Structure formats: C-alpha cells, structure tokens
Structure 1
Amino acid sequence: MKALEKSIYAHYDVRLAFNKIILSDLESYDGTKKEQLKSFLEDLQNGGCISGMISEFIYHADCKKFYIQHLEDLENIREEIEDSLGEAVKIRNSLPHYTFMCWLCFEEYCFDIYRSSFE
C-alpha cells in the first residue's frame, strides 16, 4: 500500500511492524483499501492507543516487549518529534516509559501517513 511508504519515518525498520499492525486492522473497515486506511487513521486520531483499538499495545507487557525489540528506532522517532516541537515530550497518564513510547511513536507514524495521504 503506497500510503504507508509516504511517512517521514519510513527509513526506520520499526515501520515494518507498524505497517503490519495497520494492515491487520484494516479488514474491519468497509470500502476500498484507501478508504479503509483513512477510516482507521481517523479512528486512531479520535481515540488514540489509549482507547484499546490497537490490540498489540493494550498490555504493558506487550508494549515492553515491542519497545525492547525496537528501542533504538522508537527513541530516535521521539527525538525527531522533540526536535520538530522544540521541546521534550512528556509522559502522560502515568504510563510506563515503554508503553508511552509505543503509543507515541505509533500514533505519530499514523498521523504522518494521514497528513501525507489525506490532507
């Protein structure tokens, strides 16, 4: 799917895991692949990972495993986000660092795909 190649984070290997999550969730949406992607990304923007819509990131143990596997990419994405914001990203909702990082980076990756494909 071409839209998944448009992210400014496409040079990170973690994108492959993120894309796998996105593609596995699209089947529950109606329409063409592009319409499914748009609906998924809009749902994520409305609810975020905190809503539980991303089954891979519901449990802290799963987030910890994912974070350890992709630590370097996730921390580099956080640094890119902080550079573009000009300030540090603060952990919200008293989350463990690894859960926060999975949510932050996945959401940012998806929002970037939305911006480049649908805005």
Structure 2
Amino acid sequence: MTTAIEQSRLITVLDDIIQNDPHSMKAHIAQIIMDHDEPETYLSDILKYGCISGCVSELVYYSDTHAFYDQYYYEIEELRQSFEEETGCVIEVQYDLKNFFAWFSFEHTAYQIANPGSITNSFLPLNKFIDNSKLC
C-alpha cells in the first residue's frame, strides 16, 4: 500500500528530474512513470517484472525500442559502459541489440529513480531480465 507521503515524494523526484534536464532519457522515463495514475505502483511493476512483461507500453514493439535506442544512443552507451565498469561484466547481447539496450536502460534508469542518492548498487541487481550466463 502506498502512502500519500511516499507518492508525493516520488512525484517530487520525478518532477525534479523532468525540470532539470527535460530532453534526457531519464526525464523521458520519469514522464512516462508520472503519466500513470499510480506512479509508485507502476515503478514497482517495472522493477518487479521488467520491460519484457509489456508493462512499459511505449517499449513493446521493435519499432518503439529501436526508436528509443536511436534517440538516446549516447546516454544508453554511457549507462552500458558504467555498468560494465562497476560490475566488471561485459554485456554480450544474444538477440536484438537495440531492443535489449532499450529495455536495459529503461529498467536501470527506473531503478535509479526508485533509489535516488544511492551510492552503492546504482544498477538494478542482475535478475531474470538479463541472462546472467551472457555476462562476465
């Protein structure tokens, strides 16, 4: 159950992200989250089920994931490099690269939004959405 205080805090965090860098991938993702009736529940669903579940309707079709990847290529590449440096794992994509990295970046950015100011574990823990056998 979400309290009004938690919901209010999340809305404030999302609004700050959008206002501070409105053209960034993080702002785009923050806006998608904020546009839902229950942003905290939606954010929780993204973190629990991942983009593969279809819960992010903006990233269901290849045409959508490819456009997202193309639009935010440089930010996605920075995120990939940071992930590989922090974890020591190299991501080897076994299927559609643009689709994989669109989902990867969306999920990890959502995780960072849900955990603002976290110095350690700035990346979503490896889970069922990433085939761990293809890392390291």
Q: Is 1:46 the counterpart of 2:48 in the alignment?
A: yes
- 1:73 matched residue in structure 2: 75
Larger radius of gyration: 2
Counterpart AA for 2:29: F
The unaligned stretches of length 5 or more in structure 2 are: 1-10, 118-136
Query: Could you say if the C-alpha distance between residues 44 and 116 of structure 1 is closer, same or farther in structure 2, counting changes exceeding 3 Å?
Result: same
1:21 to 27, 32, 57: 32
Q: Deviations over 1:40-69 (max 9, x none)?
A: 222112110000000110001111111111
TM-score, normalising length: structure 2: 0.66
Shift of 1:17: 1.5
* CA–CA distance in structure 2, aligned partners of residues 79 and 2 of structure 1: 29
Counterpart AA for 1:63: T
Q: Deviations over 1:51-110 (max 9, x none)?
A: 00001100011111111111111111111111111111233xx43111111100110011
* CA–CA distance in structure 2, aligned partners of residues 65 and 80 of structure 1: 22
- 3-state SS, counterpart of residue 90 of structure 2: coil
- 2:104 matched residue in structure 1: 104
